[in-house]
Amino acid sequence: MYDMCCEADMINPRTDHNNIMLLARDGSNHWFCYARVLGIYHANVIYMGPGSKDFLSRCIEFLWVCWFELAHLSASWNSWLLDKVRLVPMNRADAFGIVDPGDVLRGCHLVPVFAAGKVHIDGALFSRNAHDSEDWKQ
């Protein structure tokens, strides 16, 4: 029910509710960055390197994401323009990443710029994991 979930965002990589918003990384010239969640994982990790204090396993949770890049940069908060983003091309080294779920500000709904068209006109699939056959250019 909506009234039970109003203070939480449901992120599911298998649905259209798979886009997230984060504070921008250091060195960015924008306030926020955006990503599509491809998977939600956890791993039981035992750290045995320098500074190790014990051999207890700890559960580490993380999100596997495909990054969006800004298609244009709005000048200021007063410009009243929404951010336009596009997926980072998959052949670039920085297209995918790992995110701590605690760094996610919230889920976000991205509306395609239908006039710009799809990335793959023929519906070809480059990556089964990224489900990119239906991606829009912006």
Cβ contact 70:30 at 8 Å: yes
- pLDDT tens digits for range 30-40: 888 999 999 99
Residues 6+ apart with CB under 8 A from 108: 19, 20, 21, 34
In a domain, 122, yes or no: no
From the number of C-beta atoms within 10 Å of its C-beta (0-12, 13-18, 19+), residue 40 rates as middle
Q: How many domains does the chain contain in total?
A: 1
Q: What global pTM score does this model have?
A: 0.75
Rg (CA), the chain: 18
In a domain, 84, yes or no: yes
102 CA to centre of own chain = 13
Check residue 14 and give its pLDDT.
80
Alpha-carbon distance of 118 to 137, in angstroms, equals 5
In a domain, 25, yes or no: yes
In a domain, 57, yes or no: yes
127-132: average pLDDT: 56
- pLDDT tens digits for range 2-25: 455 556 678 888 887 889 999 987
| Buried-state track 108-131, b at ≥16 Cβ within 10 A, e below 16 | bebeeeeeeeebeeeeeeeeeebb
In a domain, 130, yes or no: no
Alpha-carbon distance of 9 to 17, in angstroms, equals 9
In a domain, 79, yes or no: yes
Q: Residue 66: how many CB atoms within 10 A of its CB?
A: 22
Secondary structure class of 64 (helix, strand, coil): strand
pLDDT band at 41 (very low <50, low <70, confident <90, very high): very high
Residue type, 135: D
In a domain, 121, yes or no: no
In a domain, 126, yes or no: no
Domain span holding position 11: 2-110
Check residues 23 and 29 and name the one with the higher pLDDT. Answer: 23
Check residues 28 and 86 and name the one with the higher pLDDT. Answer: 86
